């Protein structure tokens, strides 16, 4: 039982390191584009 818990703990650590590494090294920036939209203002 203890071996299974150790294995599970090691797998959780490896998965956490992989997710953190992907977050820092992966290209997670969204695509940027210019957005322009005309605005009509009421005149009094």
- pLDDT of amino acid 42: 86
Q: What is the pLDDT of residues 1-44, one digit of tens each?
A: 999 999 999 999 999 999 999 888 877 678 889 999 999 888 76
- pLDDT of amino acid 8: 97
- Alpha-carbon gap, residue 20 to 1, rounded angstroms: 29
- pLDDT of amino acid 25: 85
pTM reported for the whole predicted model: 0.56
Residue 2, SS3 per DSSP: helix
């Amino acid at each position: 039982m203890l071996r299974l818990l150790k294995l599970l703990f090691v797998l959780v650590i490896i998965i956490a390191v992989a997710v953190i590494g992907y977050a820092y090294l992966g290209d997670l920036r969204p695509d940027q584009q210019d957005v322009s939209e005309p605005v009509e203002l009421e005149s009094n």
